[in-house]
């Protein structure tokens, strides 16, 4: 593949932009760390959270390292017989994982330092406290958009048209981290939350965030795990997956129209470059003015970064993509811009369904007056409806791509359009991650204020925390939508890969448009239909596992806290310290153990389906996951968010206020919603993407060995491995049951 | 189409079997009605339930009549330009509706008479009481399997190869009734249940089934609505839909191999004939022996009718289908038998997930100890898992058909095999409906015992009622699975219709296998993928609507009962009678109003999709509904059933027993589960089938007018109608909100 000198320079410019982004992040970090850490007591509490975060990250990364090595070997093997590709893919995998891991590590170690500084600043100034929280989030945001781009651009410059083969490894590295940080982290964060609440507020009758409760630190660490490291890893994966998918699709033109292929491959990298710049601007302009609510400047930041992005798309598309006669730049511009619009619509929809002041949350709060059951049914019904609304929006985005390229265009164009929509949607990722990560900083600040009794900061941190809940809920919708668009793009590139495999040119260059057009995944073929059904079942299975995992892990925490109350003299009286680090460790270990079964499923089931049902059945399977995954993820996230805010609405005085029966009902709704919105829902984002990436990775192999005895045998072996994993996780739950029974007997005896 | 004289006689034999079945039902009915009705007070209470049932049925049928006329005209138009077909289809539609309506009417008017006779018999003999309840159910069961078969066979004898065109109308008649009886009835039954509980047990503090509560009669009527008329209409629709689908598929051989086509068309009718005979035997042998639990003889009845069916399949398939050289009878035999096996597996699976004594219900009950939230989360997780298990079983059934006919067979054979699996599954329908309808008789008997204070019957009716809950939960799984298999078969015939339309022969005869093999619904076409996504969203939208409908209708009941407590002097003291009929009427009217929006959606959305996305998009859409509909329906039904039985397990003394905190938590779970399992879940069965039948009906039109301006315009008009319907239903909810607020103000004032 030949680049023009303009393209060469443009790619270097992208790299420069990425490097600038990294430096901007480091600058923000330095600024945050330069702030005052407050009193001795505040530091001591923050220190415990920092230690907890370190313990969490340490154990998490040690486990990841183990899987990293195994999977790197597997990815190396998947790249054979081309040695160069095999080695590069394995290395890129580790690089991709490193990028995502570093983002999470730097982000989380900063947020757990920013929290106490935010509290300290809140004693005197809301504006400055807000600034610290948001800028701390900005560091994670900038790392998310820059590290992946830097890696991808370098890989591309080295490998050119073979780059997608290598970048698949890179994207899968992001997936591995996302599995750990988002799914494992999701189990961790909610188990800590539910465990702390059950044993503290309900059992021991002590307030939330009471320092005597050993699970409180774990809970505070958990906030950072879910909304900083988890969200960053999720969007990092979406970004890489969409990029690779768009490049694979563009490659389909390589044989017939190499110039068009070059422009189409490079264009997504330029779009990401724009994203870095607009993220810097978007984060930079967030500043509280006067008496306004902190949500205002955040919304300004999002809005301006969106507007500037669109202007930049226009210029870059017209003057770069317009350079070749064969490419209609207007199509590329509209496709990318539609992504920005999609993000805005999804953001608005999510707010409508999850924030007070709109009918859904109001009706949930109102129905709490007639009890828990009506609260839950209303929330569930609203959640179901919100899934439909989000899905229709995504359908509209796909249909828009059809309209841009014309109904008679070949599928590659339309799918490339969809992936550009995804790239456009993720352009504001820097700001989105920043506003999501802002959440746990504010939440932690609230916790520290409570624990250290910093009365004068209370009002300000309460304002910040409320806004944090808003941003956390609203950004979830974008994470899901981006996952779905990424998965649709991956599904498109899966077809491209299969077409290449079928035409006997499993390398890269010769995937002709023709071969792709000949390809068909007919729903009327029974095995494809069966694949579709099985794929549809996966999100249900996965959610069932993660919801249960939260319960089991929370139970282990409860047991440990009970033990500490029993065995540490003076703890209840406040004269002794709880062993918080131990709870963090138990929670991390348990969450990781709980990750084994769903993790195995996510990685191995697509391979098993490919082995048994062939590439056609696997195609149906991947489509099934997308359909059901989207619906279920939005249902879980939005109903959870709506229950949360319905409770807060009542706490703010509506329908009887705090302590009323309506409030009690709403609290239950919130507790049910917690694992929905923070564990099971976000986990589905990862499942949708991971399974599609795995499908893409094994596509050439499934095509190559079709009909032979190898695949069925491999399928059996993998099925046995999955079976053992699932049985192990069932045995685990047997243990929990025994402990449960033992505790019960003990209680009955006493 | 020429029949051999053997075939002619076989078809007459089927008709004779159906007529015998009707007479058997009338004989059972006479037997039940001949029993003693008990004391004056018992008769008076039963009389109120009978009046309520009459009021419900009267209003229901008046409304149905209105829609019947409109839809008959539309069906007539859909059959044009062939006048003969058009008129016959319109008439068959009314006949199909009449058959289902008559089944519901005869069934329900009997169950509300059997209840008091069951109570009376229970004073002296458990065996006789059980006999009355089950035989009353048997009447509904026999009507379900015979009336449809009689009509279908007559239509077939008259129209021969054109019969499927006419039978489509017949099946759609069943769909209309199913919409009213199962969806409208589902809203009615749960609104009455929840309303009676909320206003009685919780608000007024009076016991369940207290005669002072005006909603108690509505609640007792509701049991018969849901589990007698609703289930019968559901399975009636499945049976007709599967039959038509299998016949349409068989017709594909008409041009190339008319003999094979004839055998394949007639064979499903013979299978149904077998079903009548084995249902008679199955119902007949249910008799309590000695001290055994009533579940034992019921299970014996199911088992023997299954075994006899398989033997009869063997004989009929070998000696009839074996007569033609081209048909491999073994394939047909195994396909049909696999349906019986599927029914048994689904029955067992549903019992595993919803009955006490198995891990799922036990773990829900255990988790109730830690509160409502854990009870709900555990139930939800178990429900999700059960959906996956049921789906895998259905996949196995489809895969089995692939194995029987060979992976390289043409799709018609495999889909015909799937529809035979459905026919086999429904063979025991007579017994299944009988055991489901047995439920409300026992439940009512329990209510009458309570209200009339017939102490000596208490123990016996309690035993009968407990078994009724078991049978009701277990048969739901079969209803869903049969709906899914019916829908897959309809999806297959949709493809066949489209192939006929595309090859310019939209009549019947010339749908060649070739045309069908050329047909393809490629998932990789964006518009098919969009159709799939939208189809997947429908079950979510529908469930959201029906769950809310229950809440709104329940609220109207609560208001009316409150009014009666306030305005009828002496009601609370027991000296005056409540106006129960009024509550029944309000509940029926509200349920019917709530049916408008989802009913419009079910019928019109597939047409709109066909108009806008063409036959390909519509195909994707129909597949999407099946995937998500199955998963969501099983989730809703099984989690609901499991919560119910977890509560009963605790009431039987586990984990603290009645009145404990665990019990309170389990009661909430049960209340949440009620609209899940009795309204939203079963409604999805209907949605899955109705939408696929509508798709099948409009397929020729969508193909014929493709590309022109007619379809988009019709699409717009229909979309406006749906929009108005949905807005009307939203305004309705606005009214409720105002009433709600008014009531609240009033309460605050007093």
Over range B608-625, report the average pLDDT. Answer: 93
**Distance, in angstroms, between A695 CA and closest chain B CA?**
15
Cα–Cα distance measured from residue A610 to residue A619, given in angstroms and rounded to the nearest whole number? 9
The token pair at B273 is 């004939």
Q: Is the Cβ pair A530, B623 closer than 8 Å?
A: no
Chain A contact probe: residue of B380, B523, B743 with most A CBs at under 10 A: B523
**pLDDT tens per residue, range A308-346:** 999 999 999 888 877 666 668 888 999 999 999 999 999
Dihedral angle over CA of A130, A133, A138, A143, nearest 10: 180
Q: How confident is the model at residue A618 (pLDDT cuts 50, 70, 90)?
A: very high
Contact A672 B488 (CB under 8 A): no
d(CA B639, CA B647) in angstroms, rounded, equals: 12
Q: Least CB-CB distance to A385: which of B519, B533, B544?
A: B544
Share the mean pLDDT of chain B.
88
pLDDT at A291: 82
- Non-local (6+) Cβ contacts of B648 within 8 A are B356, B466, B469
Q: pLDDT, tens digit, for every residue of A243-282? A: 999 988 888 887 778 888 888 889 999 999 999 999 999 9
User: What distance in Å separates residue A169's CA from the closest CA in chain B?
Assistant: 24
Distances (CA, A) of B392 to A531, A532, A719, B334: 11, 11, 15, 19
The pLDDT tens digits for B628-660 are: 999 999 999 999 999 999 999 999 888 988 888
User: Are B222 and B444 within 8 A, CB to CB?
Assistant: no
| pLDDT value of position B273 | 94
CB pair distance less than 8 Å for A631 and B536 = yes
- How buried is A315 (Cβ within 10 angstroms: 0-12 exposed, 13-18 middle, 19+ buried)? exposed
From CA B427, how far away is CA B437, in angstroms rounded? 17
Q: How far apart are the first and last CA of chain A?
A: 77
Half-sphere exposure of A614 (CA within 13 A, CB side): 15
Whether residue A442 has a cis bond before it, omega within 30° of 0: no
| B505 vs A31, higher pLDDT | A31
pLDDT tens, position by position, A94-133: 999 999 999 999 999 999 999 999 999 999 999 999 999 9
Measure CB to CB from residue B631 to each of A398, A522, A540 and give the nearest one. Answer: A540
- Who among A369, A418, A544 is closest to B384 (CB)? A544
Which chain A residues are Cβ-neighbours of B544 within 8 angstroms?
Answer: 381-382, 384-385, 388
**Under 8 Å between Cβ of B624 and B535:** yes
* Residue contact A628–B628, C-beta within 8 A: yes
Q: Burial-class residue A677 by CB neighbours within 10 Å (0-12, 13-18, 19+).
A: buried
> Hey, are the CB atoms on A533 and B395 less than 8 Å from each other?
yes
Listed residue (A256, A247, A404) closest to A328, CA to CA: A404
pTM of the model: 0.93
Q: Do B668 and A671 touch (CB under 8 A)?
A: no
* pLDDT confidence bin for B211, thresholds 50/70/90: confident
Q: B235: which residues sit within 8 A by CB, 6+ positions away?
A: B144, B426, B429, B432, B433, B479, B482
What does the H/E/C string look like for B553-571? HHHHHHHHHHHHHHHCCCC
> Could you tell me where the DSSP H helices lie in B568-660?
580-651
Residue of chain A whose Cα is closest to the Cα of B491: A524
Out of A521, A541, A543, the one facing B524 most closely (by C-beta) is A521
Of A194, A367, A536, the CB nearest to B628: A536
User: CB neighbours (10 Å) of residue A120?
Assistant: 25
Residues B162-174 as b/e (b if ≥16 CB within 10 A, e otherwise) read: bbbbbbbbbbbbb
What was the pLDDT predicted at A509? 46
A631·B370 Cβ contact <8 A = no
In whole angstroms, give the CA distance from residue A698 to residue A498.
10
**Tokens read off for A659:** 């302590």
pLDDT band at A738 (very low <50, low <70, confident <90, very high): low
Inter-chain contact B398–A526, Cβ cutoff 8 Å? Answer: yes
At A217 the pLDDT is 87
Q: What is the DSSP letter of A522?
A: B
- Any idea what the Cα angle at residue A92 is, between residues A89 and A98, rounded to 5°? 150
Q: Give, to the nearest 10 degrees, the angle between helix B295-319 and helix B458-502.
A: 30
The dihedral of CA A513, A519, A523, A527: what is its sign? negative
C-alpha triplet B273, B277, B280: angle, nearest 5°? 140
DSSP-based helix, strand, coil % in chain B, nearest 5: 85, 0, 15
CB contact under 8 A, B740 and A401: no
CA A704 – CA B511 distance, rounded (Å): 36
CA A119, A125, A129, A132 dihedral sign is negative
pLDDT-derived band at B731, boundaries 50, 70, 90 = low
SS3 category, B461: helix
- pLDDT exceeds cutoff 80 at B385: yes
The structure tokens listed for A678 are 């923070």
Distance, CA of A39 to CA of A37 (rounded, Å): 7
The pLDDT confidence band at residue A731, using thresholds 50, 70 and 90, is: low
For residues A628 and B628, the answer to whether their CB atoms sit within 8 Å is: yes
Q: What's residue A201's pLDDT? A: 72
Find all residues with CB under 8 Å of B303, minimum gap 6, and list them.
Answer: none
Q: What is the mean pLDDT of chain A?
A: 88
Q: pLDDT digits over B307-366, tens only?
A: 999 999 999 988 887 766 666 888 899 999 999 999 999 999 998 999 888 899 999 999
Q: Check whether B413 has a pLDDT greater than 80.
A: yes
Q: How confident is the model at residue A508 (pLDDT cuts 50, 70, 90)?
A: very low
CB contact under 8 A, A391 and B537: yes
Q: Could you tell me if B608 and B594 are in contact, meaning their C-beta atoms sit under 8 angstroms apart?
A: no
CA angle B292, B298, B303 (to 5 degrees): 115
Q: Tell me whether residues B388 and A623 touch, CB distance under 8 A.
A: no
- pLDDT at residue B692, rounded to an integer: 94
Indicate yes or no: CB of A367 within 8 angstroms of CB of B551: yes
User: In chain A, what residues touch B597 (CB-CB under 8 Å)?
Assistant: none
Question: Is A706:A614 a contact under the CB 8 Å cutoff?
Answer: yes
Across the interface, do A488 and B529 touch by the CB < 8 Å criterion? yes
| Nearest residue to A434 (alpha-carbon basis) of A346, A302, A238, A287 | A302
Give contacts of A675 with chain B, Cβ < 8 Å.
377
Q: What's residue A570's pLDDT?
A: 83
| In the predicted structure, residue A743 carries a pLDDT above the cut 70 | no
CA distance B439 to B673: 18
Nearest neighbour of A519 by CB, restricted to B372, B395, B524: B524
Choice between A205 and A482, residue whose per-residue pLDDT is larger: A482
Q: How many CB pairs below 8 A link A and B?
A: 223
Per residue in B133-166, pLDDT (tens digit) is: 999 999 999 999 999 999 999 999 998 878 888 8
DSSP output for A138-193: HHHHHHHHHHHHHHHHHHHHHHGGGHHHHHHHHHHHHHHHHIIIIIIHHHHHHHHH
Q: What is the 3-state secondary structure (H, E, C) of B641-697?
A: HHHHHHHHHHHCCHHHCCCCHHHHHHHHHHHHHHHHHHHHHHHHHHHHHHHHHHHHH
Q: Which of A156, A7, A177 is nearest to A88 (CA)?
A: A156
Q: How far apart are CA A361 and CA A673, in angstroms?
A: 13
Q: What's the pLDDT band for B740 if we cut at 50, 70, 90?
A: low
* Residue B129 CA to its chain's centroid (Å): 26
Among residues A473, A445, A453, the alpha carbon closest in space to that of A126 is found at A445
Residues of chain A with C-beta less than 8 angstroms from the C-beta of B519: 524
Cα distance from B2 to chain A (closest Cα, Å)? 31
Could you tell me what percent of chain A has a pLDDT over 70? Answer: 95
Query: pLDDT confidence of A445, banded at 50, 70, 90?
Result: very high
Interface test with A, best of B375, B377, B404, B617 (most A CBs within 10 A): B377
At residue B34, the pLDDT reads 93
Q: Mean per-residue pLDDT for A663-667?
A: 91
- Smallest CA-to-CA distance from B558 within B428, B684, B743 is with B743
For residue range A276-310, what is the model confidence (pLDDT) as tens digits? Answer: 999 999 999 999 888 888 888 999 999 999 999 99
CA dihedral in degrees (A360, A362, A365, A370; nearest 10)? -90
Residue with tokens 């590659």: A412
Distance of alpha carbon B237 from alpha carbon B490, whole angstroms: 12
pLDDT at A36 over 70: yes
Distance CA B39, CA B17 (A): 39
Q: Do residues B421 and B492 lie in contact, with contact meaning Cβ atoms separated by under 8 Å?
A: no
Token match 């757990």: residue?
Answer: A112
The C-alpha R_g of chain B, in whole angstroms, comes to: 25
Task: Tell me the mean pLDDT in the region B503-531.
Answer: 72
**Under an 8 A CB cutoff, do A536 and B395 touch?**
no
Residue numbers in B near A521 (CB within 8 A): 522-524
Instruction: Work out the minimum CA distance from A336 to partner chain B, whole angstroms.
Output: 18
**In this model, does residue A193 exceed pLDDT 70?**
yes
**DSSP category for residue B618:** H
């Amino acid at each position: 593949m030949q680049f023009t000198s303009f393209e060469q320079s443009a790619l270097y410019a992208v790299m420069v932009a990425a490097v600038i982004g990294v430096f901007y992040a480091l600058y923000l970090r330095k600024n945050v760390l330069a702030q005052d850490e407050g009193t001795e007591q505040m530091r001591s509490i923050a220190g415990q959270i920092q230690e907890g975060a370190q313990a969490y990250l340490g154990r998490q990364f040690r486990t990841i390292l183990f899987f990293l090595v195994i999977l790197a070997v597997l990815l190396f093997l998947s790249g054979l017989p081309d040695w160069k590709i095999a080695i590069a893919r394995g290395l890129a995998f580790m690089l991709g994982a490193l990028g995502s891991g570093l983002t999470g590590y730097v982000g989380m170690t900063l947020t757990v330092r920013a929290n106490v500084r935010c509290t300290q600043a809140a004693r005197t100034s809301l504006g400055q406290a807000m600034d610290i929280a948001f800028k701390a989030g900005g560091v994670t945001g900038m790392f998310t958009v820059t590290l992946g781009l830097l890696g991808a651009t370098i890989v591309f410059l080295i490998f050119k048209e073979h780059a997608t083969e290598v970048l698949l490894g890179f994207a899968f590295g992001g997936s591995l981290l996302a599995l750990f940080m988002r799914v494992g982290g999701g189990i961790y964060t909610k188990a800590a939350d539910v465990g702390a609440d059950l044993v503290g507020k309900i059992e021991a009758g002590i307030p939330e965030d009471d320092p005597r409760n050993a699970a409180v630190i774990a809970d505070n660490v958990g906030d950072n795990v879910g909304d900083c490291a988890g969200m960053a890893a999720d969007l990092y994966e979406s970004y890489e997956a969409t990029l690779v998918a768009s490049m694979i699709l563009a490659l389909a033109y390589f044989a017939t129209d190499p110039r068009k292929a070059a422009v189409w491959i490079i264009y997504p990298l330029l779009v990401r470059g724009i994203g870095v710049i607009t993220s810097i601007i978007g984060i930079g302009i967030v500043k509280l003015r006067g008496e306004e609510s902190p949500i205002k400047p955040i919304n300004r930041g999002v809005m301006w970064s969106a507007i500037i992005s669109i202007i930049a798309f226009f210029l870059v598309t017209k003057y770069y993509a317009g350079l070749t006669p064969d490419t209609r730049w207007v199509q590329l511009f509209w496709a990318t811009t539609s992504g920005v619009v999609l993000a805005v619509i999804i953001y608005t929809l999510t707010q409508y369904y999850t924030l007070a002041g709109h009918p859904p949350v109001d009706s949930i709060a109102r129905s709490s007056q007639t009890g828990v059951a009506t609260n839950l049914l209303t929330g569930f019904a609203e959640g179901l409806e919100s899934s439909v609304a989000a899905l229709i929006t995504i359908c509209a985005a796909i249909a828009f791509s059809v309209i841009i390229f014309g109904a008679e265009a070949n599928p590659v164009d339309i799918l490339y359009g969809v992936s550009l929509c995804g790239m456009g949607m993720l352009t504001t990722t820097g700001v989105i991650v920043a506003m999501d990560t802002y959440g746990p900083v504010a939440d932690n600040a609230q916790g520290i204020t409570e624990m250290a009794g910093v009365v004068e900061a209370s009002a300000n941190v309460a304002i910040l925390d409320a806004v944090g809940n808003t941003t956390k809920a609203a950004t979830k919708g974008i994470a899901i939508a981006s996952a779905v668009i990424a998965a649709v793009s991956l599904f498109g590139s899966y077809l491209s890969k299969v077409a290449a495999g079928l035409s006997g040119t499993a390398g890269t260059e010769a995937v002709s448009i023709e071969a792709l057009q000949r390809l068909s995944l007919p729903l009327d073929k029974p095995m494809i239909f069966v694949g579709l059904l099985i794929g549809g079942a996966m999100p249900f299975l996965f959610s069932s596992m993660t919801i249960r995992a939260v319960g089991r892990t929370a139970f282990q925490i409860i047991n440990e806290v009970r033990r500490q109350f029993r065995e540490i003299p003076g703890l209840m009286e406040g004269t002794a310290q709880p062993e918080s680090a131990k709870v963090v460790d138990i929670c991390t270990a348990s969450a990781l153990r709980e990750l084994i079964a769903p993790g195995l499923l996510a990685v191995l089931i697509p391979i098993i389906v490919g082995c048994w049902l062939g590439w056609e059945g696997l195609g149906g399977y991947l489509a099934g996951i997308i359909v059901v995954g989207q619906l279920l993820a939005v249902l879980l996230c939005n109903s959870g968010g709506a229950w949360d805010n319905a409770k807060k609405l009542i706490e703010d005085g509506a329908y009887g206020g705090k302590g009323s029966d309506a409030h009690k009902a709403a609290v239950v709704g919130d507790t049910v919603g917690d694992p929905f919105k923070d564990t099971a829902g976000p986990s589905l984002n990862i499942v949708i993407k991971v399974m599609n990436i795995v499908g893409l990775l094994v596509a050439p192999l499934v095509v190559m060995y079709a009909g032979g005895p190898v695949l069925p045998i491999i399928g059996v072996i993998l099925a046995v491995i999955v079976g053992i994993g699932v049985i192990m996780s069932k045995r685990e739950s047997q243990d929990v049951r025994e402990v449960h029974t033992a505790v019960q007997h003990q209680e009955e005896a006493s």
